[in-house]
Amino acid sequence: MAEETKVRFGILGCAHIAIKVCKAITTAPNTKLQAIGSRSFEKAATFAAEHGLPEAVRVYGSYESVLEDDEVDAVYIPLPTGLHVTWAVRAAERRKHVLLEKPVAMNAGELDRILEACEANEVQFMDGTMWVHHPRTAKMKEALSDTQRFGQLKWIHSCLTYNPGPEFLKHSIRVKPDLDGLGALGDTGWYCIRAILWAMDYELPKSVLAFPGAILNEEGVIISCGSSMHWEDGKSASFHCSFLTYMTFDITVLGTKGCLRLNDFTLPFEENFGYATFSEASEMDYGKIEQGRWCPKASEHVVETEFTQDVWMVKEFASLVQKVKRCEMKPEKVWPIVSRKTQLVLDAVKESIERGYQPVEIVS
C-alpha cells in the first residue's frame, strides 16, 4: 500500500501490551507507526529503543503532544482504565480515531462520554479485543450458525484466569482502584462476557446474578469472580474470571445438536505458526462412531492465517479509518455497540456483587 494512504498511528503510553500493538502496526499493510508518547520523554525514548521501533517514529514526552501531531490519524490507548475517559475524549476532540484497550471504561456512563465524543467528531472507535478479529473466529461463527450441525444455542460457559503471583496482587496497576479498578472482571472477565455476547449474536441477557464468594482485595478491587447470565428465551451462560489460578482461556458453547470448545480462545496456542484450531462435536459425527467408542471425540478444525490476531485487529480498524478519511462512509457503529454491550454486562455483574449477589436486570 502506498505510504501516503496508510493510517498513521500514535501510541499513548508505554504499557506492556503496547509492544505487541506497535509490532502489529508496523506489520499490517495499511498502518504506519508515527509517534509514541509517555509522561516522560525518557520513558518513551527508552521504549522506542528497547523494542526497536523504526527511527522515523516521533517520540514525545506527553500524551498531549501525540494528540497535537497533525500527522497522527489514529491513536492506540493502552493507558490504565481510569484514564480512558479523559484521553479517549481528548483524542476524539482532536479528531484522532480511537483504538482503546479493554476494559474500555470504568462504567457505561464513562464509555458513553467517549462514544459521544467519537460520534460528534466523526472518528472511528474500536476496543482492543484482539481474538474477535482472528479468521478462526469467523469460522467458528459459521459453525455455530449451521443449524444442521449445531442446532439452537442453549448454554455457554467461559473461564479466563491466570495467576500473576503475589507481587502483582500487591503492586500491579490492574488491582488499583484508581487505575484498572475493575480488576480481574475488567481484565479477564471482559473476554468471557464478550465471548458470550459474540456467541449470542450480541443479544444482551435479560439479567445477571453474580456467584457468591467473589474475592476482592483490601481496596475493594475484584481479584476473582463469576456470574450466571440469562436470556428471555431460556438461553443461559456463566463465566468465571480470576487472578488466582493457572492460565485458562476456555469457552464451551452448547447447542441442541453440537458443541464448540476452545481452551485458547483469546490467544491461540499456535498463533505464530500461521494457523489456529477449534474443536467441534456434533450429532452428525455419530455416523463415524467406531466400535467401542460410544461418544465421538470432537473434531479439530484448522484455520490458516496470514497474520496474528493483533495484526488483523489494527488492519480492520485502519481499513475503517481509511474509508472515513476518504469520506466513503461514516464511522462504523458495530464496534462501539459491541463495546458498550460488553461494558453494560460487566457493570451489571459488578453491581450484583456490590448488592450482595442480587440479580441485576440489564437495561440497554
Draw the binding track, 228-267, toward a second copy (x: CB under 8 A; -: no contact): x-xx--x-x-x-x-x-xxxxxxx-x-xxxxxx-x-xx--x
**Cell numbers that stand for 286 in this block:** 455419530
Centre a 10 Å sphere on the Cβ of residue 80 and count the other Cβ atoms it contains.
16
Identify the residue among 70, 167, 287, 294 touching a second copy (CB under 8 A). 294
| Residue 155 binds a second copy (CB under 8 A) | yes
Under rule CB under 8 A, residue 207 binds a second copy: yes
How many angstroms separate the CA atoms of 62 and 75, rounded? 14
Q: Is 166 in the site for a second copy (CB under 8 A)?
A: no
Torsion of CA 130, 132, 133, 137, to 10 degrees: 130
Taking the complex as a whole, the smallest distance from the CB of residue 248 to a second copy amounts, in Å, to 6
Residues 6+ apart with CB under 8 A from 71: 8, 34, 35
Q: Which stretch binds a second copy (CB under 8 A): 61-69, 133-141, 181-189, 288-296?
A: 288-296
Q: Which of 122, 114, 127, 125 is nearest to 86 (CA)?
A: 114
CA–CA separation, 157 vs 186, rounded Å?
17
The residue range among 72-80, 113-121, 134-142, 224-232 that interacts with a second copy, by the rule CB under 8 A, is 224-232
CB of 69 to a second copy, least distance (A): 33
Element (H, E) at 215: strand 215-216
Q: Does 211 bind a second copy (CB under 8 A)?
A: yes
CB 90 within 8 A of CB 68: no
Tell which one of 93, 283, 316, 354 touches a second copy (CB under 8 A): 283
Asked whether position 289 contacts a second copy by CB under 8 A, the answer is no
DSSP codes, 47-109: HHHHTT--TTSEEESSHHHHHH-TT--EEEE-S-GGGHHHHHHHHHHTT-EEEEPSS--SSHH
The only residue of 4, 167, 170, 293 in contact with a second copy, by rule CB under 8 A: 293
Residue with Cβ nearer a second copy (15 or 192): 192
| 51 contacts a second copy (rule: CB under 8 A) | no
* The three grid cell numbers given for residue 245, joined into one nine-digit string: 489460578
- In whole angstroms, the minimum distance from the beta carbon of 27 to a second copy comes to 15
Cell of 321: 479509518
Do the Cβ atoms of 12 and 75 come closer than 8 Å?
Answer: yes
**Pattern 72-111, binding to a second copy, x per CB under 8 A?**
----------------------------------------
Task: Tell whether residue 334 is a contact of a second copy (CB under 8 A).
Answer: no
> Could you say whether residue 298 binds a second copy (CB under 8 A)?
yes
Give me the least distance between CB of 236 and a second copy, in Å please: 5
- In this chain, which of 143, 173, 179, 281 binds a second copy, going by CB under 8 A? 281
Range in contact with a second copy (rule: CB under 8 A) among 73-81, 101-109, 114-122, 205-213: 205-213
First to last CA, the chain: 40
- DSSP letter for each residue of 238-255: EEEEESSSS-EEEEEEEE
135 binds a second copy (CB under 8 A): no
Shortest distance, position 154 Cβ to a second copy, whole Å = 5
Report the distance separating Cα 88 and Cα 36, nearest Å. 15
Phi-psi region of 25 (alpha: psi -120 to 50; beta: other; left: phi over 0): alpha
Binding site for a second copy (CB under 8 A): 151, 154-155, 157, 159, 161, 163, 207, 209, 211-213, 215, 224, 226, 228, 230-231, 234, 236, 238, 240, 242, 244-250, 252, 254-259, 261, 263-264, 267, 269-273, 281-283, 291-295, 297-298, 357, 359
